[in-house]
Amino acid sequence: MTPVTSSLRKIVHRTRGKAHGPITRLMSPSDLGEALKPFVFLDIFDLADSSKAAFGLHPHSGIATVTVFTDGDASFDDGEGHRGIIGYGGVEWMRAGSGVWHGQELGAGTTPGIKGFQLWLSLDPDLELSTPDSQYIEAHQTPEAGPAHLIVGQYASEQSPVRAPAGINYLLVRLRAGETWHYKTPVGHSVGWLAIAEGEVTLDATAAAGEMVVLDRNDGEIDVRASGFGDAVFVLGTAKPHLHPLHLGSHSVHTSPTALQQGETRIAALRVKLIERERTRAATNNGSVPVMR
């Protein structure tokens, strides 16, 4: 995508992704993720049963996952005695780093259903094999900048509590019908995109619920107007470009074949530990640990 010089950023690409039941994949590392890295994967989901927020045990390495909810809520259990509810404005952060198995840390909340986004971020070489790190942050702990909850990064004198790498902003925004929001892009954040969960928004063109739009490559400012008859809810990501190649595994994204092999080797070793833990749990009825790291 060719850099464009402009005071206001424009839409240069749009997609509705590919639906698989209640989950739609808007971006993956093998398509738009290559152009938008460090943002490499994005799912939008609409689950009729909030207990399905637990996606089943699965591994990751080399990435961080960011899960936000646009409607409804889910409970969390970090396995260390911390429990609570994540709803609109809260976030589950998981830096997989050297490798984790997870998927049981979220469960049924107070609402029947739940909607939201799961995002993957690619990590630089100094973090892609780092010790895994997770956070479960409730909405009241997330700073607000006007109509936006600052999920990741630093914006408008606010700093997200998420322990994410510098140079990445990710915001969850709700605009009332007819309301306009002006986002002053941080210097160097030439990567930019929006994905709409509810309603309709207009930048230089209009996009509706279920769409993801890619913005031109510069750090110009972004004007978004809720142009439908109801509220608009969307996520916005901007970042400095990730300057490393992507090497892909089935659940992993790394910057080199060597790092990918190390991550996948660690995942395989954790799987052996996971099987043994499950045998012990079944024998002793001691419960389960939501994350194996």
Cβ atoms 124, 171 nearer than 8 A: no
Mean pLDDT of the region 82-102: 93
How confident is the model at residue 79, as a pLDDT? 67
Cα gap 240→218, rounded to integer Å: 10
How confident is the model at residue 5, as a pLDDT? 43
How confident is the model at residue 3, as a pLDDT? 43
Kindly tell me if the per-residue pLDDT of 53 is higher than 80: no
Mean pLDDT of the region 142-157: 97
**Would you kindly state where each structural domain of the chain is located, as residue ranges?**
17-284
Who's near 178: CB < 8 A, 6+ residues apart? Answer: 225, 226, 227
Per-residue pLDDT tens digits for 113-131: 999 999 999 999 999 999 9
Kindly tell me if the per-residue pLDDT of 207 is higher than 90: yes
CATH 3.40.50.300 given to domain 17-284: no
101-105, 152-156, 227-231: lowest mean pLDDT where? 101-105
Give CA 80 to chain center in angstroms: 23
Cβ atoms 101, 47 nearer than 8 A: no
pLDDT > 90: percent of the chain: 80
Cα gap 244→255, rounded to integer Å: 6
Band of the pLDDT at 276, cuts 50, 70, 90? confident
Band of the pLDDT at 4, cuts 50, 70, 90? very low
Mean pLDDT of the region 160-178: 97
Kindly tell me if the per-residue pLDDT of 27 is higher than 90: yes
- pTM for this predicted structure: 0.92
What is residue 66's three-state secondary structure? strand
